[in-house]
Structure 1
Amino acid sequence: MTLTKNNTMNPLLSPFDTAPFSKLKNEHFMPAFTQAIAGARAEIDAITHNTEAASFENTIATLDYSGKQLDRVSSVFFNLNSAETNEEIQKIAQEISPILSEFGNDITLNEDLFKRVKAVYDQKDRLALTTEEQTLLDKKYKGFSRNGANLSEDKKKRLREIDAASSKLKLNFGENILAETNKFQMHLTDEAALDGLPEGEKEAAAQMAKAKELEGWLITLDYPSYIPFMKYAKNRALRKKLATAFGSKAFHNDELDNQENVLKIAKLRHERANLLGYKTHAHFVLEERMAQTPEKVQEFLNELLEKAKPAAEREFKELEDFAKELDGIDRLEKWDGAYYSEKLKQKLFNLDDEKLKPYFKLENVIAGVFQVAEKLYGLQFEEVFDIDKYHEDVKTYRIYDEDRTLVAIFYADFHPRAGKRGGAWMTSFKSQYVENGENVRPHISNVCNFTKPTASKPSLLTFNEVTTLFHEFGHGLHGMLANTVYPGLSGTSVYWDFVELPSQILENWCYEKEALALFATHYETGEVIPMELVEKIKASATFQEGMQTLRQLSFGLLDMSWHGTDPTTITNVKTHEDQVFKDTDLYPPTPETCMSTSFAHIFQGGYSSGYYSYKWAEVLDADAFAYFKEKGIFNKEVATKFKEHVLSKGGTENPMELYKKFRGAAPKIEPLLERAGLL
């Protein structure tokens, strides 16, 4: 019987299939981690002390299947820390992260275990391994050799110190951003301050104020509140106030400031890379990416910069002239961009999100993305109410194939709240793998932050939110359709610059009338979105694409500046950032804001030295979608190839080989430049 200190059964330590959220209490986590780590340690010891000669089966495969209970406990806990956290969970995260980091080091720095792995690796040419087995062997060997197995004892000790410190700094970084987001609120009591805001947005702001027992209206830094205000509010001073608050998150020289965290994380990563024999953190990371080297990434970003900058400068000039003509604005500032872009877009295309939103009721868009997946991959989705969930907003589904075989369990969590970090992401609560003849199916989750329903309106999405939902669901399909033997190669366990292909390609269906007809119906009348609106969506798809590309490239270049060079001489985060942005900034500088201090992708998430991969994967997705367009966007043959060679294969082969098997050739950059209107 599994007991915690208060003598109750610990649901995380009893066998479970779907996560037992309703039974979980915060006091369950540390005992569950402690026992799961002990169990994983015993499994590692059994491999290490096996008296039989090391083989693929008794060493490499057994190692990959080990620690399953720890993986489950970790996935439940850290997903809650992202989507439904509180102070107590954050404290546990601070306590357990260095312990998990230390345990990871105990494995990769275990000499006897490495000897067994190396013994198998050294005879790989004589073993009759499948492609997947060869990939796993290579990955396991590199997991040791690239993470300190060959270091001297004193260097191993320093590696452990760096990893423990880094894990805590990353948590601090994320906690500070969440605290800053929750702390700021713009309370408005004069309705004139909301001039320009659509009625639905006003209602949402009033509802938010009411929830906090305030009169009037409340605007926050959560995207569904922040973005409409920046896009529609006429009051320039309030836009400036909001944009400054958003852009200066964790940049106030107070207890929530992230400048020190940024410098420490970057320097520790650099030291770690040097310790392991790499020039920079980016050299270390990119060795295991399609791009391979920082030089190749820099070349890729600069090539796109060369193509995008002239277009971006033309678009910015057009926007400046438009703002001057419309409102006599002499100097266009960052807090003016979204507002005048929206006005210009309306003028050029007679299209604005308020016209589109009635056609994108959240429930209909969810049903639509399901239908697209059904037409492409034969999947069937059933909402179910017998799966435990961590918040009442979460919806749960069972997904079947055409033979009614369970493919996956899916959790969908779509609205912002205080305990949930901003942004949108896909994650999993359970991996897919095959063991003892059983194909264990995955439990996948999509988390987003879309506008909540109000008293008078359902949740109506902007077109940008529609593409976000499709994007995250594309990641979801990569997880759901996983079909590999080993958990370590399953689903999204692929090179980081390949992981965005399944997500970004699915966004393309949002622009196709054949797909829109499935779900874009008016929430009141049921009318299918008029063709003229569809044509306008397509026509406006490349609106300000040069500026958008420049913005993405600036983030990629900032990432590489922190990780692709020696950061030890950087003393001022803002000065460093300004230097990097000078080639991509179109707007006047804003001394009070700083991107790096809230750049969670690279300092908290997994995108360090990898932010370029969004643009890299755009080359892949534009090329891949060109194939669908050529054959038909619901062509079964192309969809089956994409499923078999990309979605189901995980990291079992080199991604370029997988891509070529799907497409018949390496990707070309021309379809991206053409789609973006940059040719």
Structure 2
Amino acid sequence: MNPLLQASPLPLFDQIQPEHIEPALDTLLRQAEDALSTVTAAEFPATWQAIAAELDVATEKLGVAWGSVSHLNAVADTPELRAAYNTCLPKVTEFWTRLGADERLYAKYKAIAPESLNTEQRQAHKNALRNFVLGGADLQGAERERFAAIQEQMAALSQLFSEHTLDATDAFSYYATREELTGVPDDVVQGARNAAQAEGKEGYKLTLKMPCYLPVMQFAKSSALRGTLYRAYVTRASDQAEDTAKQFDNTDTMRSILTLRKEEAALLGYPNFGALSVVTKMADSPTAVIRFLRDLAAKARPYGQQDVADMRAFAAEHLGLTDPQAWDWPYIGEKLKEARYSFSEQEVKQYFTLPKVLAGLFKIVETLFDVEITPDTAPVWNPNVSFYRLERVGPQGR
């Protein structure tokens, strides 16, 4: 049986294959369509419980399956999985867009008697009505069609943006010499050597993935090496990338997304996308957000300027860097901590192994939120994935 259609308390990540995705999503979309037709029928009762029992159950199954596929697409990307995901993306987007703008369902929700709801349901009902409006339920004719088209285009463009960024990161490699890696921790050097050997190449393979990139930026004595990795990292998926890496340029994708966001906001009666975005957030307006950020920046700026001055003086006196570049600051910061505070990340690292860090983190969470976190087993997509059970502990037990 298709693992995406099996009733399971947790996603069956260890069984899901690319060929399962489209058949399962087609089935779940049909079931959700049927549920939508049922609850929007004239004779169907306009009550919270009745709608939830029919429509929410179907859409929850669809959401869980699509969420599982989206997660796998993010953490276990393969050409086959990506193709299956992109095949289903327009279908799923179209359904959710149409559901959020369905006039019949909107009318059914408006017909629900507020006095029949408890406090939590009243808030959820209020949010649902707001989301119908934001989903284009009040739009008519050509505007409604255009809004739906925008949602589909936005979903495709967002996925393309992510793919370009991931592919640009994966495409980069630099094979360093041992001399260039002076200062880099031994475990990172060994990992880079193993990566090069696995490809049958000489030298040490460096990539833009954080376990490799960050320690090189922090510890590599070679400013030239740090500069090479920094430029590759900050120009990923842009028109500033070098040579063949320009194939992943996201410039046009970002322009298209911004254009569509502006059009979406205008269709819904907002002056800009910022105003639309804050409707569901705590901030009152984009102006309030900007005011908060600028106020925060004004308070932090003097301290930041002092830190930069200290680092410049230290770099000039102790490291011979009279004009630090962007790729030098992590290295300067690390050396300053060692000199001023006798603090070395590498020395401290041995005391913060993964089991100890997790134990400490979990203890804090358990204390703050009155929960218990225990190791457990679950279907996973990679043998290195760990699973933990989180349960609330209180007077009534778990």
TM-score using structure 2 length: 0.93
What is the match of residue 282 of structure 1? 274
CA contact (8 A) 1:381 1:400 kept: yes
- 1:396 aligned residue: 387
Q: 2:190 aligns with which of 203, 206, 214?
A: 203
Query: 2 CA distance for matches of 1:210 and 1:181?
Result: 20
Letter in 2 for 1:281: F
Structure showing the higher helix proportion among its residues: 2
1:236 corresponds to 2:223: yes
> Structure 1 residues 49, 391: closer, same or farther in 2, change over 3 A?
same
Give unpaired runs (5+ residues) of structure 2. 241-245
Q: What per-residue deviation string (whole Å, max 9, x for no partner) do you get for residues 268-318 of structure 1?
A: 011101101011111011011111210100110110111112221222122
User: Equivalent residue for 2:154?
Assistant: 166
Q: How does 1:3-42 map to 2 (within 5 A)?
A: 9-42=1-34
2:94 aligned with 1:102? yes
Q: Secondary structure at the residue paired with 2:373?
A: strand
Offset from partner CA, 1:348-395 (integer Å, 9 cap, x none): 21112112100110122122222333344454433234x221111111
Indicate conservation of the 8 Å contact 2:239/2:251, yes or no: no
Per the alignment, do residues 362 and 315 of structure 1 end up closer, same or farther by CA in structure 2, a change over 3 Å counting? same
**Is 1:84 the equivalent of 2:88?**
no
Q: Secondary structure at the match of 1:287?
A: helix
Separation (CA, whole Å) in 1 of partners of 2:17 and 2:209: 27
Measured after TM superposition, the shift of residue 217 of structure 1 is: 1.6
Deviations 1:39-71 (A, max 9, x none): 111111111015145233334675444412101
Q: How does 1:424-439 map to 2 (within 5 A)?
A: none
Question: Quick check: 147-156 or 319-328, which moved more?
Answer: 319-328
Identity %: 28
Query: What is the TM-score normalised by the length of structure 1?
Result: 0.55
Distance in 1 separating the partners of 2:22 and 2:150: 23
What amino acid is the match of 2:321?
I
- Per the alignment, residue 366 of structure 2 pairs with 374
Hey, what's the Cα distance between the residues in 2 that align with 1:210 and 1:143?
54
Tell me what 1:316 maps to: 308
The residue aligned with 1:250 is 237
Q: Are 2:62 and 1:70 aligned?
A: yes
Instruction: Name the Cα RMSD after superposition.
Output: 2.1
Q: For residues 193-252 of structure 1, what are the alpha-carbon distances to aligned partners after superposition, in whole Å with 9 as ceiling and x for unaligned? A: 111112222222223323333333221101110010001101111110000000000014
**1:146 counterpart letter in structure 2:** L
Question: For residues 336 and 205 of structure 1, do their structure 2 counterparts lie closer, same or farther at Cα, with a shift above 3 Å needed?
Answer: same
- Kept in 2, the 8 Å contact 1:60–1:117? The answer is no
Rounded to whole Å, the distance in 2 between the matches of 1:215 and 1:90 is: 32
Residue 176 of structure 1: aligned partner: 164
Q: Distance in 2 between matches of 1:228 and 1:340?
A: 13
SS at match of 1:255: helix
* Letter matched to residue 95 of structure 2: F
Q: In the alignment, is the contact (CA less than 8 A) between 2:32 and 2:55 conserved in 1?
A: no
Give yes or no for contact 2:164–2:248 (8 Å, CA) kept in 1. yes
After superposition, the Cα gap between the structure-2 partners of 1:247 and 1:382, relative to the gap in structure 1 and judged at 3 Å, is: same
State the Cα distance separating 1:20 from its structure 2 match. 1.9
Distance 2:87 2:62 in 1: 16
Q: How does 1:480-629 map to 2 (within 5 A)?
A: none
Task: For residue 63 of structure 2, give the secondary structure of its aligned residue in structure 1.
Answer: helix
Matched, 1:194 2:181: yes
1:146 aligned to 2:134? yes
CA deviation vs aligned residue, 1:558-605 (integer Å, no higher than 9, x gap): xxxxxxxxxxxxxxxxxxxxxxxxxxxxxxxxxxxxxxxxxxxxxxxx
Letter aligned with residue 210 of structure 1: Q
Q: Counterpart in 1 of 2:322?
A: 330
Q: After superposition, what is the alpha-carbon deviation per residue over 1:604-652, rounded to whole angstroms, capped at 9, x for unaligned?
A: xxxxxxxxxxxxxxxxxxxxxxxxxxxxxxxxxxxxxxxxxxxxxxxxx
Change (3 A) 1:353 1:404: farther
- The answer (yes or no) to whether the contact 1:19–1:388 under 8 Å persists in 2 is yes
CA-CA distance at 1:404 after TM superposition: 12
Which residues of structure 1 form unaligned runs of 5+?
A: 1-8, 408-679
Contact 2:31 2:58 (C-alpha < 8 Å) held by counterparts: no
Structure-1 separation of matches of 2:65 and 2:262: 31
Q: Does residue 303 of the first structure (1) align with residue 295 of the second (2)?
A: yes
Label 1:112 to 1:376 Cα distance change in 2 as closer, same or farther (>3 A). closer
In structure 2, C-alpha distance between the alignment counterparts of 1:398 and 1:360, rounded to whole Å: 23
Task: State the one-letter code of the partner of 1:192.
Answer: E
Q: Per chain length, whose mean CA-contact separation is higher, i.e. which structure has more relative contact order (CA < 8 Å, sep 6+)?
A: 1
**Contact (CA 8 Å) 1:21, 1:388: kept in 2 or not?**
yes
Greater gyration radius: 2
SS of aligned partner of 1:51: coil
Deviations 1:473-500 (A, max 9, x none): xxxxxxxxxxxxxxxxxxxxxxxxxxxx
Q: List aligned pairs for 1:382-461, cutoff 5 A.
A: 382-385=374-377, 387-402=378-393
Distance 1:30 1:377 in 2: 40
**1:109: Cα distance to partner?**
2.1
What SS does structure 1 have at the residue aligned with 2:159? helix
TM-superposed CA distance for 1:262, in Å, is 0.7
Residue 319 of structure 1, CA deviation: 1.4
The residue matched to 2:248 in structure 1 has which SS? coil
CA distance in 1, matches of 2:129, 2:120: 14
Q: Structure 2 CA distance, aligned partners of 1:252 and 1:110? A: 41
CA distance in 1, matches of 2:16, 2:94: 26
SS in 1 for 2:247: coil
**Cα separation, 1, equivalents of 2:58 and 2:6:** 17
Which amino acid letter does the alignment assign opposite residue 202 of structure 2?
E
Equivalenced residues, count = 393
Distance 2:270 2:217 in 1: 43
Q: In structure 2, what is the Cα distance between the partners aligned to 1:326 and 1:130? A: 66
